[in-house]
A and B are shown apart, each in its own frame.
Chain A
């Protein structure tokens, strides 16, 4: 993949740079991974503690959305170069689906 091999004249610099980048990325991955496990635990706790369902359902959904974003950006490298087309398609899909569901919830009698 082009994004894993930054092109630069000096092999030394490239190597150092990549090492630093990789270490950084690794750290972020560990952090997000811990947070994802934490979120999952919270989700179970929220259900277990028996809050009202008007709290639990939106809350768990929110946690799920955050986890999806983590997954995409930190583990599937969506922030890296070369992912513009998938991003475009995912966001358009999300927007279209959102508007459709919004229409159902607001103006359409089913």
Chain B
């Protein structure tokens, strides 16, 4: 019985079970895409509610308290549960293929990372149904969050803690994969830029998430177990939370934007049909941004009263980041320059990204000037800035990446026509929504404000902004229609569907075999597939003879470990409430489930299995499909 045939046909429940237990990076990528896409839509609905509330003066579409919950959940969901997992989806789907690896270094940990993120996200969102969502902003500043009634903030702290563990594990797994599993000849300076940015972003995760973990634990203890880290009345210090949050938070924005840069750095050379300009300076800039990202956190705290010396130093450090970012911008432009350009949907996103992101960068530098920031701070100007970098950078990257890598992940091609409609709607909507917000901010509209009055001069601007948001929503709806139609038709497009693939992931048969590479490829330079093409070959030169391939077994344990923490979180949250005696037992049972599953995993040997050489050869003769 061939192991290869065995891995195919399955019923519906079989498929579900396969996905619940999978350790295959390509399937985990699809899980991240589905879950991240779901949370993106949830966050999008919250955004629409914000814009409806602010569309006209004196509106009472939602109450002030509910509004606070909505903006908090919008920000938290978009950053932690939409943007990060969607980027993780592409990292999982693409990076191992780009470096010529058969899998990631720790497939089990990879699955565990996903399920932790997923249960953390579900926990956070259950707050809507269990007495109210967190309402202290996505930054959850301690003086506000400690005073918040109900369990909203507890949901925030515990949910982010769980999903943060998952992210940390994902990051470590990517690091080890890139360090150890590159194909023969794939030196560091031949790694595609998306792999490089994944590498640096993962390193940032490794260093930035621990401060968040510590801060969240302190918040959890302060709120649920009676400690006083941030409680001034008990001798604590409420500013420390801000430091912890931003020591994590600023690197976090680069964790998000660097992989998006990576996606664009793949799209530009592919469709300009020209080697990436200044490859080594791109790598240098990426690493430098990573380092500097840790030295600027206090620019979010200029107005807390750090004093002129600290403000000046952090202002200069912040402005310094614009330099490597500028290097990247010029390299992208010079990559397109003189290329033979094909304006496919991914390329449209990439081209639109450059001016959009530059605008966000420019307002960033403006805010970095500390005295000026006293004016900008906590106004809609800030809202405009970070949406220009986040939507203009990351979301455009995700949308472009989705179109670009769709054939790699699903073997089908999204419709270019619908794709262009989405692109136009989304881009127009994006600028319509956020450009005017710069001016609203300068006119004095505060951030996170529930409503405004007539005659304050804010009505027109807000109405325009809300109309823009509707355009973006339409764009996303067209994208969803596009996805459904494409998957329904299910026309398989085969290998290298863009015809100009340069890197290893396009050299693999489509759909990608579950063992990725029958023989590891020999990498002879940057853009290895392109090099072979230029020499008239259609395939990579193998670096090894066909041999047995070692594969990991599927496992249900990651799901159970994460489920245990999910259960335990309820216990931790409710234990202090009157008359909830069940809470402590629930906490203990949850921890037992988690540790029991970990114990089971440690004592039970699981060596995986081998695909035999004969089966691989048989398959080659019989045709793959």
Which residues of A does B touch, CB under 8 Å?
Answer: 85, 89, 92-93, 96, 99-100, 103-104, 107-110
Instruction: Write out the residue numbers on chain A whose beta carbons fall within 8 Å of the beta carbon of B247.
Output: 100
Q: Which of B305-349 contact A (CB under 8 A)?
A: 305-307, 309-310, 313
Chain A neighbourhood of B175, CB < 8 A: 89
A31 to B295, CA, bound (A): 40
- Asked whether, in the complex, the Cβ of B306 is within 8 Å of the Cβ of A108, the reply is yes
Chain B residues with Cβ below 8 Å from A108 are 243, 298, 306-307, 310
Instruction: Tell me whether A96 and B307 are in contact in the complex, defined as CB-CB below 8 angstroms, given that A85-B179, A89-B203, A107-B313 are known contacts.
Output: no
Q: Top 3 A-B pairs ranked by shortest CB distance?
A: A107-B310, A85-B179, A96-B294
Q: What are 20 A-B pairs at a CB distance below 8 A?
A: A85-B179, A89-B175, A89-B203, A89-B206, A92-B207, A92-B291, A93-B207, A96-B207, A96-B291, A96-B294, A99-B294, A103-B298, A107-B309, A107-B313, A108-B310, A109-B305, A109-B306, A109-B310, A110-B240, A110-B243
Interchain CA distance A100-B237 in the complex, whole Å: 18
Bound complex: CA A37 to CA B305 (Å): 47
Identify the closest chain B residue to A100 (Cβ): B247
Question: Which of B207, B237, B294 meets A110, CB within 8 Å?
Answer: B237
Contact of A99 with B295 in the complex, beta carbons under 8 Å: yes
A85 cross-chain contacts in B, Cβ below 8 A? 179
A23 CB → nearest B CB, Å: 31
Measured in the bound complex, the distance between the Cα atoms of B306 and A103 in whole Å is: 11
B239 interfacial contact with A, CB 8 Å? yes
Interface membership of chain B positions 224-244, coded 1 if the CB is closer than 8 angstroms to chain A and 0 otherwise? 000000000000010110010
A92 to B175, CA, bound (A): 15
Residue in A closest to B206 when the chains form the complex, CB atoms: A89
Residues 537 to 592 of chain B near chain A (Cβ within 8 Å): none
B177-229, CB < 8 A from A? 179, 203, 206-207
| 19 extra interface residue pairs, beta carbon distance < 8 Å, beyond A96-B291, A96-B294, A103-B313 | A89-B175, A92-B203, A92-B207, A92-B291, A99-B294, A100-B247, A100-B294, A103-B298, A103-B310, A104-B243, A107-B306, A107-B307, A107-B310, A108-B307, A108-B310, A109-B305, A109-B306, A109-B307, A110-B237
Cα distance A99–B247 in the bound complex, in angstroms:
12
Flag B578-614 by CB within 8 Å of A: 1 or 0 each: 0000000000000000000000000000000000000
Closest A residue to B297 using CB positions:
A100
Which of A99, A103, A110 counts the most chain B CB atoms within 10 A?
Answer: A103
User: Which residues 487-512 in B have Cβ within 8 Å of A in the complex?
Assistant: none
A89 to B200, CA, bound (A): 11
A99 to chain B: which residues have CB within 8 Å?
A: 294-295
Q: Cα distance A100–B207 when bound, in Å? A: 12
A4–B196 CA distance with the chains assembled, in angstroms: 30
Q: Closest CB of chain A to B24's CB: distance in Å?
A: 26
Q: Which A residues are CB-close (under 8 A) to B239?
A: 110
> How far is A107 from B305 in the complex, measured between Cα atoms in Å?
12
CA distance A109 to B237 in the complex (A): 11
Q: Which of B273-303 contact A (CB under 8 A)?
A: 291, 294-295, 298
Which residue of chain A is the closest to B310 with respect to CB atoms? Answer: A107
- Residue of B237, B307, B310 with most chain A CB atoms under a 10 A cut-off: B310
Cα A24 to Cα B432 with chains together (Å): 71
The residues of B that contact A110 with a CB separation of less than 8 Å are 237, 239-240, 243
- Tell me the bound Cα distance from A99 to B295 in angstroms: 8
Residues of B within 8 A of A93 (CB): 207
B243 proximity list for chain A (CB < 8 A): 104, 108, 110
Chain B nearest Cβ from A102, distance in angstroms: 11
Please measure, in the bound complex, the distance between the C-alpha atom of A29 and the C-alpha atom of B203, giving whole angstroms. Answer: 32
Interface members, chain B 114-129 (any A CB < 8 Å): none
> A residues within 8 A CB of B295?
99
Rounded to whole angstroms, the CA-CA distance of A56 and B422 in the bound complex is 66
Contacts of A109 in B (CB 8 A): 305-307, 310
A60 to B238, CA, bound (A): 31
Q: Which single residue of chain A is at the shortest CB-CB distance from B211?
A: A100
Q: What is the CB-to-nearest-CB distance from A11 to chain B, in angstroms, rounded to a whole number? A: 26
B602 to chain A, nearest CB (A): 22
For B180, give the chain A residue with the smallest CB separation.
A85
Q: Which interface residue of A92, A100, A108 has the most chain B CB atoms within 10 A?
A: A108
Question: Given the complex of chains A and B, what is the CA–CA distance between A89 and B175 in angstroms?
Answer: 10
Q: Give, as a whole number of angstroms, the nearest-CB distance from B178 to chain A.
A: 9
Q: Which residues from chain A contact B309 at a C-beta distance below 8 Å?
A: 107
Bound-state CA distance A109–B301 (Å) is 11
Closest to A84 in B: B179
In the complex, the chain A residue whose C-beta lies closest to that of B294 is A96
When each residue 242-266 of chain B gets 1 if its CB lies under 8 Å from chain A and 0 otherwise, what string results? 0100010000000000000000000
